[in-house]
Amino acid sequence: MTSDTKPYSGEQAQGAPLPAGGPNPPRSPEPEADVAPVGAAPIGESLAKDAWRRLSQNRAAMLSLGLLIAIIVVCIVGPWLLPWGLAEVDWNAFGTGPTLENAHYLGTDANGRDLLTRVLYGGRVSLSVALVASFVSLVIGVLYGAISGYLGGRVDNYMMRFVDIMYSLPFMFLVILLMVVFGRNIFLIYAAIGAVEWLDMARIVRGQTLALKRREFIEAAHALGVRDTKIVTRHLIPNAIGPVIIYVTLTVPKVILLESFLSFLGLGVQEPLTSWGVLISEGVDMMESAPWMLLVPSIFLALTLFCLNFLGDGLRDALDPRTR
């Protein structure tokens, strides 16, 4: 009778203990190298670098970012390079179409003023209103929402009831009231829009704070005796910054539309200043006889809004932790 196993010799044949796992113990597997899966963030990469890498892979978002930067640069630098001023009148060209003669590249308005110059100046006003009002809503909303969500209880209830009261006030009524009391001023537009837009920001940050304040790192900060102000500013707000950035990119086009709507109704900027909303309002009156007066500012406004929306979508995907 044959056997498949061969007898051991030497010490093993004399009763010495066998190696663990039998005569031929399995080799321990080689440690796997730390290789990140395809599309994942490289090991040790910071959140900011990871977000930028993911954003740079979104072609629509990067194209929108480049086009938005180009629009901002053109609005800032362009009026200095053009031969016509904001209120300068060409007495030989009233409501003329685009032409190279006298450097009216996009035509003139009904008063003989260069349309391209006025569109670029209007872009300065519209973009500045959007950025300043969004910054005001960002500061007020983030601080208000973080404090409300962190304190909780009765304080949170009272603070959010105040937000509900502010929501119930008609926006147009608030703007008209400010205009009647203080007069028409571009800074009042900043204040009016910023005083309304922070409400949504406060609710978003409050929801993020309620979800974060029970996490382990917040409890560890409490155990170490960290003050509440530092917990809010150094732990809660930085960890809620992702949704905040996304919402800011959505707030800017909303503010531009609000300013354009106010200017369209005659409650926005006044002469000699102008904005895209004012130019669109003037173009509507001349739509049949001079369609370029409506098309040019509308194209600038639409391009800016599309760029901001595509950029917001790209930031949402780049900062979403569930897609990492």
Mean pLDDT along residues 172-189: 71
Asked whether residue 127 carries a pLDDT value surpassing 60, the answer given is yes
Mean pLDDT lowest for which of 181-185, 213-217, 292-296? 181-185
Q: Which domains, from first to last, does the chain contain? A: 60-89+100-323 (1.10.3720.10)
State yes or no: pLDDT of 125 exceeds 80. yes
pLDDT bin (cut points 50, 70, 90) of residue 157 is: very high
The amino acid at 141: G
Which one is predicted more confidently, 246 or 124? 124
Query: Average of pLDDT values for 319-324?
Result: 58
Question: 286 vs 158, which has greater pLDDT?
Answer: 158
Residue 46: per-residue pLDDT: 63
pLDDT above 80 for 264 = no
What does the mean pLDDT of the chain come to?
77
Task: State the pLDDT at residue 258.
Answer: 80
Cα 262 to Cα 178: distance, rounded to the nearest angstrom: 13
pLDDT at 66: 92
On the question of pLDDT at 256 being above 70, the answer is yes
- Mean predicted confidence (pLDDT) in 113-118: 87
d(CA 13, CA 248): 79
| Residue 217 CB coordination number (10 Å) | 11
Residues in the chain: 324
Q: Are 91 and 112 in contact (CB under 8 A)?
A: yes
Instruction: Give the pLDDT score at 107.
Output: 80
Of the segments 47-51, 155-159, 243-247, which one has the largest average pLDDT value? 155-159
Q: Which carries the bigger pLDDT value, residue 198 or residue 67?
A: 67
* CA–CA gap between residue 278 and residue 298 (Å, rounded): 11
Return the pLDDT at 32.
46
Q: Is the predicted pLDDT of residue 298 greater than 80, yes or no? A: yes
Closest by Cα among 265, 275, 256, 251 to 198 = 251
pLDDT of residue 2: 46
Please tell me which residue, 246 or 67, carries the higher pLDDT value: 67
> Given this model, what pLDDT does residue 74 score?
92
Residue recorded with tokens 């629509």: 60
Helices then strands (H, E): number in the chain? 12, 0
pLDDT of residue 233: 82
- pLDDT per residue as tens digits for the range 31-90: 444 444 444 555 555 667 777 788 888 888 899 999 999 999 999 998 888 888 888 888
The pTM (predicted TM-score) of the whole model is 0.70
What's the first-to-final CA gap in the chain, in angstroms? 62
Tokens of 195: 């005083």
Tokens of 106: 């996009």
Q: Which of 194, 147, 137, 144 is nearest to 171 (CA)?
A: 194
- 2 phi-psi bin (left φ>0, alpha ψ -120 to 50, beta other): beta
